[in-house]
Structure 1
Amino acid sequence: MQWKTLDSPPMLAPLYWHAVLKRKITGSHLPEQGFRCRVSVNPQHVAAYRKVCGFADSPMLPVTYPHILAFGLQLQLLTAPSFPFPLLGLVHLSNRIRVHRPLGAVSDLTIALHAENLQPHAKGATFEVVTTVEDALGLLWEAQSRMLCRGVKLDGAAADDALPTPTQVSELTHWKAPADIGRRYAWVSGDYNPIHLSALTAKLFGFPQAIAHGLWNKARTLAALGEHLPAANIDIEVEFKKPVRLPSEVALHASGAGSSGELWLKGSGDIEHMVGRWRPIG
């Protein structure tokens, strides 16, 4: 892997322009290049993120917040000339976070991000965006986001690695996903994908209504779980199913508090939006 170190987090506007211009698949191999950058945590921005995602006030960073710190690097990677797939149209299939140590007293961090594990899929090909976060003591947090690019043709059989349907869960709570949550989350995350912003922009991409960001669904779920989960040595994996159309109401079903458990996010009519599990890092 060749690493390019940036002096500061990239500006998002030019990267979005690159995303709009690139609409074709240009290859079938992932680049052997990753991006690194040092970032500082802004307490005011963290507070705004907490409010949008429902996290309680705490000296600990929200467990999903490092995704926000890494978003600029993700755009840098996915819009680079060497990256073979267009950003617009990628589908976020799953997300896995590992928290190695408590996310308290965090200020300056080093973020590194690259893509790997290109695999055939029934609808195209998948790859993983891998993010690591380090502080002065070493590895603190890491994540894998599995993405689907439709229309890519690769040799081989598609893997069947879906998470099992949760069995030992009961309804814990429920909440409304308001019509404007896509715009509010975009403001704190930088993710202005048109499918999340309004019904009008979502219809341009084949959606009848705007849909909630997958990572907002995960963040809102983990905020609701709160002290159900350990603060560290935890591996939290979710798979995104049917999108949450805006506005709508969802219900969270989960196991009891403990080091391991399952979660299930459902909508009206038992629509399955997200399944997941947490367990110690193995």
Structure 2
Amino acid sequence: MATDWHDLIAPPALPGLFARAAMRRQVTGKTLPSLGLRCTLSADADNLQRYRALCGFADGTRLPVTYPHVLAFALQMKLLTDRRFPFPLLGLVHLENRIRLLRPLGGLGPFTVSVHGDKLQAHPKGAQFSLITRLQDQLGLLWEGDSGILCRDIRLDGEPPESSQTESSQTESSPPDEFRLRELDRWTAPANIGRRYARLSGDYNPIHLSAASARLFGFPRAIAHGLWLKARSLAALESQLPPAGYAVEVRFHQPVRLPAELHLLASAAAPSGRLELLGEGQRLHMSGSWQPL
């Protein structure tokens, strides 16, 4: 199905989109709309500097590999709250995230940022779809993000596909020496990290902001943003990754309840590798890998 692209002259305002998300509670269909949104955007230098500091990225002339998600957040919100989108935003679960970095992200822009939905399929706990985000410049595609998202309030016909990334494949077999994991970094995720990340990213999901707001959605404490966990981990891996020409994917397992002590395990610097983010009692919160394109 061809994407029906809508070009915006400016990013949408977030307050109205949050209000729309709060009012929407019902599934309205079983197919994704053909709608796609595009907008020309540039990074804000002050926001970028504070993002680097919060996530642990070193200063430099290139955007951090996870920063395009921040650039695109308002477009993603507008797409997911559009009346044609069938699933209510509140309650969606971010299962996994894959980034492809084709060329170095030099400068602040301007970039053409686009978002659309794709790959709706059955899942053992509901239905899963991909939120596809792309960043382009005058030479073409620079960066692509694929966020796998679960809607638990719907069932689709057909068998769920087997996961390409399972815990058994990571734990039951002995990996080659170059893929053996060693502790690379450890840090504390403070109780207010959700609010601090929200101020930079625009993502004010109540489950991340405070224990009181998280309890409204069944969590005893606020939980960390998955994309902050990925960004903080890739910042620690920055010296092991090439400037471009690779893909990095992660799967989110158990949520990180704040505050938390976390430690990052990773294989040695190489074109391909693995990572795991562990918490108290060696609880697995995130696992992933990187490989050349």
TM-score normalized with structure 2 length: 0.94
- How far apart in 2 are the matches of 1:148 and 1:105? 34
Report what 1:165 is aligned to.
170
Matched residue type, 1:80: D
**3-state DSSP class of the match of 2:237?**
helix
In the alignment, what sits opposite 2:280? 268
Aligned-partner SS, 2:170: coil
Count residues with an aligned counterpart. 281
Residue 37 of structure 1 is matched in structure 2 by 39
Shift of residue 42 of structure 1? 1.3
Partner of 1:280: 292
Partner of 2:4: 2
Return the offset for 1:172: 1.0
Q: Aligned-pair distance for 1:151? A: 2.0
* 2-structure distance, mates of 1:128, 1:105: 28
In the aligned structure 1, how far is the partner of 2:19 from the partner of 2:170? 40
Q: Is the contact between residue 44 and residue 108 of structure 2 (CA under 8 Å) also seen in structure 1?
A: no
What per-residue deviation string (whole Å, max 9, x for no partner) do you get for residues 109-164 of structure 1?
00011001110111110000001100111100001000000021110011121414
Match for residue 249 of structure 2 among 217, 225, 237: 237
What SS class does the counterpart of residue 212 from structure 1 fall into? coil
SS of the aligned residue for 2:290 comes to strand
Q: What are the Cα deviations for residues 72-122 of structure 1, in whole angstroms up to 9, with x where unaligned?
A: 010010000000000000000000000000112342000011001110111
- Which moved further from structure 2: 153-162 or 6-15? 153-162
Preserved CA contact (<8 Å) 1:230 1:258: no
Alignment of 1:69-84 (within 5 A): 69-84=71-86
The residue correspondences of 1:202-281 to structure 2 (distance < 5 A) are 202-281=214-293
Alpha-carbon shift at residue 58 of structure 1 (Å): 1.2
Q: Deviations over 1:210-254 (max 9, x none)?
A: 000000000000011121111100100000000111001011000
Aligned counterpart for 2:134 among listed residues 123, 132, 135: 132
Letter in structure 1 aligned against 2:4 = Q
Taking the aligned partners of 2:186 and 2:162, their CA distance within structure 1 comes to 30
Aligned counterpart, 2:114: 112
Whichever residue aligns with residue 117 of structure 1, its letter is K
Give runs of aligned pairs for residues 187-202 of structure 1, distance below 5 A: 187-202=199-214
Mapped partners of 1:273, 1:162: distance in 2: 18
Q: Measure, in 2, the Cα distance between the counterparts of 1:137 and 1:106.
A: 15
Q: For residues 20-52 of structure 1, give each alpha carbon's deviation from its aligned partner in whole angstroms, at most 9, with x where no partner exists.
A: 010111111100110000001211110011111
CA distance in 1, matches of 2:106, 2:270: 21
Per the TM alignment, residue 9 of structure 1 is displaced from its structure 2 partner at its CA by 0.6
Q: In the aligned structure 1, how far is the partner of 2:51 from the partner of 2:4?
A: 32
SS in 2 for 1:51: helix
Residue 264 of structure 1 aligns to a residue whose secondary structure is: strand
- Cα distance, 1:262 vs structure 2: 0.4
Deviates most, 194-203 or 161-170: 161-170
- Aligned-partner Cα distance in 2 for 1:41–1:173: 28
SS in 2 for 1:276: strand
In structure 2, what is the Cα distance between the partners aligned to 1:219 and 1:18?
A: 28
Shift of 1:61: 0.6
Unaligned runs of 5+ in 1: none
For residue 265 of structure 1, what is the amino acid of its counterpart? L
- Matched with 1:94 is 96
Counterpart amino acid of residue 136 in structure 1: Q
Q: Is the 8 A contact 1:199 1:209 kept in 2?
A: yes
- 2:149 alignment partner AA: M
1:180 CA drift (Å): 0.4
Q: Distance in 1 between matches of 2:53 and 2:263?
A: 19
Separation in structure 2 between the aligned mates of residue 84 and residue 59 of structure 1, nearest angstrom: 40
Gaps of 5+ in 2: none
Distance 1:37 1:236 in 2: 25
**Match of 1:62, SS?**
coil
One-letter identity of the residue aligned with 2:63? L
What's the C-alpha RMSD, in Å, of the aligned pairs?
0.9
